C-alpha cells in the first residue's frame, strides 16, 4: 500500500519538479491527492480483520474527503461534495473507481482466505470493468509472497493485464486500460523507481496510473528506497514522506511501513540497496542447491 501512496506523491513531483522526480522520486513539497489519501484512510478498517460495515467505511472515507482540503490535500470538487453528504447519493464514477482500487490495494496484504471473503466491486456498486480490475488483489498477494511476475498472473483474466494491444494508441477511457498500462510499466521495470519512471508517461489520469504501478512495484520490490541509475545521479535515497503531509497521516504511514516490513514473506530488492545498473552474471556451481532456507 505504501507504494501506491508514493506513486501518488511521485505523480505530483513529476508534474511540478521534474528534476527532483528523477533524482529522488518524491519532492519534499509533494502534495497528496485523493488517490493517495483513500488507501491510508481505509487501511485500519480493512486490517481489523472483522466484518466491514459499509456505512461506517463510507463515513470514514467521506470525512477524510470532506476535511482534508484544509490540510493541503488535493481533492476534486465532486469527491469533496460527496464527502459532505449523508452518503445516500450516487458515488461519482471516478471516486467509485478510486474507492475500489484503494480497497483492492490495501487487501493485497491479506491471506487468500480473507481475500475470498471480500467483494469490493459489489461493496461499492462497481461494474464489469471494476469486477475484473479487482483481481489485482490476487496479483499483489502473490507478489508479496515471492511469486515471479509471470507466476503472479497465472489464471488471472487476460483483460486485467492485457486489455489493449501493446503499442496501440491510448484512449484512457476504461479502468482496464489503466490496469494494463500499470502492469506493463511494472513488468518491464527493474526496481520500484524505474516502474514509476515508466508510469509517469501516462498522459491522462497520471495519479491513478502511478498509484496502481506503485502498488505492483511495492509488492515485488519494496518501496523503502529510491535507487537511480548513474546518469540520474546514482543516488540511494530512503523515501521520506514529505513535510507537507498532515502529521497524523505521516505517523500512520510510518506505522504501516513497519507492519508491512515486519510481516514480509521475502526480503525485497529495494530494501537491499541493490544496484540498478545492468549486471553480467557468471554461473558457478552451488554446493547447497538441495538445501531449502
How far apart, in whole angstroms, are the C-alpha atoms of residue 124 and residue 90? 10
Arithmetic mean of pLDDT over the chain: 90
Q: What is the pLDDT of residue 131?
A: 96
Q: What is the pLDDT of residue 235?
A: 61
Q: What is the pLDDT of residue 261?
A: 85
> Are 275 and 227 in contact, with CB atoms under 8 Å apart?
yes
Q: What is the pLDDT of residue 210?
A: 98
Other CB atoms within a 10 A radius of the CB of residue 119 amount to 11
Taking only the tens place, the pLDDT of each residue in 89-100 is: 889 999 999 999
Phi, psi torsion values for 50, nearest 5 degrees? -100, -165
Q: Stretch 39-49: mean pLDDT, rounded? A: 91
Residue 12 predicted with pLDDT over 70: yes
Q: What is the pLDDT of residue 158?
A: 95
Other CB atoms within a 10 A radius of the CB of residue 113 amount to 7
The x, y and z cell numbers of residue 238, run together, are 530512503
Phi, psi torsion values for 16, nearest 5 degrees? -120, -20
DSSP for 201-248, written as a single string: T-SS-HHHHHHHHHHHHHHHH-SSEEE--GGGT--EEE-PPPTTS-HH
How far apart, in whole angstroms, are the C-alpha atoms of residue 230 and residue 219? 25
pLDDT band at 281 (very low <50, low <70, confident <90, very high): confident
How far apart, in whole angstroms, are the C-alpha atoms of residue 198 and residue 265? 27
Contacts of 283 (CB under 8 A, 6+ apart): none
Q: What is the pLDDT of residue 214?
A: 97
Q: What is the pLDDT of residue 232?
A: 56
CA atoms within 13 A on the CB side of 103: 25
How far apart, in whole angstroms, are the C-alpha atoms of residue 100 and residue 147? 24
Task: Report how far apart, in Å, the C-alpha atoms of 17 and of each of 78, 130, 168, 241, 244 are.
Answer: 27, 33, 29, 16, 15
Nearest-10 crossing angle of helices 206-221, 93-107: 0
Lowest mean pLDDT among 27-36, 112-121, 161-170, 181-190: 161-170
How far apart, in whole angstroms, are the C-alpha atoms of residue 98 and residue 41? 12
Residue 236 predicted with pLDDT over 90: no
pLDDT band at 234 (very low <50, low <70, confident <90, very high): low
Highest mean pLDDT among 178-187, 219-228, 229-238: 178-187
Taking only the tens place, the pLDDT of each residue in 251-279 is: 999 999 988 888 888 888 777 766 555 66
58-66: long-range pairs with CB below 8 Å, 24+? 58/87, 59/87, 61/99, 62/87, 64/37, 64/38, 65/34, 65/37, 65/95
For the chain, give the percent of residues with pLDDT over 90: 71
> For residues 101 and 269, which has the higher predicted lDDT (pLDDT)?
101
Residue 153's closest CA among 128, 183, 129, 177? 183
Other CB atoms within a 10 A radius of the CB of residue 111 amount to 11
Residue 72 predicted with pLDDT over 60: yes
Helix (H) or strand (E) holding 93: helix 93-107
Give residue limits of the domains in the chain: 2-31+111-266
What's the pTM value of the predicted model, to 2 decimals? 0.89
Amino acid at each position: 500500500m505504501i507504494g501506491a501512496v508514493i506513486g501518488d506523491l511521485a505523480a505530483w513531483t513529476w508534474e511540478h519538479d521534474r528534476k527532483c522526480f528523477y533524482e529522488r522520486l518524491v519532492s519534499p513539497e509533494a502534495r497528496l491527492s485523493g488517490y493517495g489519501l483513500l488507501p491510508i484512510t481505509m487501511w485500519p478498517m480493512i486490517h481489523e480483520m472483522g466484518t466491514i460495515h459499509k456505512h461506517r467505511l463510507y463515513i470514514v472515507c467521506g470525512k477524510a474527503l470532506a476535511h482534508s482540503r484544509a490540510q493541503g490535500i488535493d481533492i476534486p470538487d465532486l469527491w469533496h461534495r460527496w464527502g459532505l453528504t449523508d452518503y445516500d447519493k450516487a458515488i461519482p464514477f471516478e471516486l467509485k473507481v478510486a474507492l475500489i482500487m484503494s480497497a483492492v490495494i490495501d487487501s493485497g496484504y491479506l491471506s487468500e482466505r480473507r481475500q475470498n471473503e471480500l467483494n469490493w466491486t459489489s461493496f461499492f456498486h462497481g461494474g464489469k470493468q471494476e469486477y475484473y480490475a479487482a483481481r489485482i488483489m490476487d496479483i499483489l498477494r502473490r507478489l508479496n509472497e515471492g511469486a515471479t511476475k509471470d507466476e503472479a498472473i497465472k489464471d488471472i483474466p487476460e483483460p486485467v493485464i492485457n486489455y489493449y494491444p501493446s503499442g496501440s494508441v491510448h484512449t484512457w477511457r476504461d479502468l482496464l486500460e489503466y490496469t494494463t498500462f500499470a502492469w506493463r510499466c511494472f513488468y518491464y521495470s527493474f526496481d520500484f523507481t524505474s516502474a514509476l519512471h515508466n508510469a509517469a508517461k501516462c498522459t491522462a489520469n497520471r495519479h491513478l496510473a502511478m498509484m496502481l504501478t506503485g502498488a505492483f512495484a511495492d509488492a515485488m520490490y519494496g518501496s523503502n528506497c529510491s535507487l537511480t541509475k548513474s546518469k540520474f545521479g546514482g543516488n540511494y535515497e530512503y523515501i521520506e514522506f514529505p513535510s507537507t503531509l498532515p502529521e497524523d497521516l505521516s505517523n500512520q504511514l510510518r506505522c504501516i511501513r513497519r507492519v508491512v516490513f515486519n510481516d514480509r514473506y521475502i526480503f525485497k530488492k529495494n530494501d537491499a540497496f541493490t544496484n540498478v545498473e545492468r549486471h553480467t552474471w557468471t554461473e558457478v556451481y552451488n554446493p547447497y542447491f538441495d538445501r531449502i532456507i
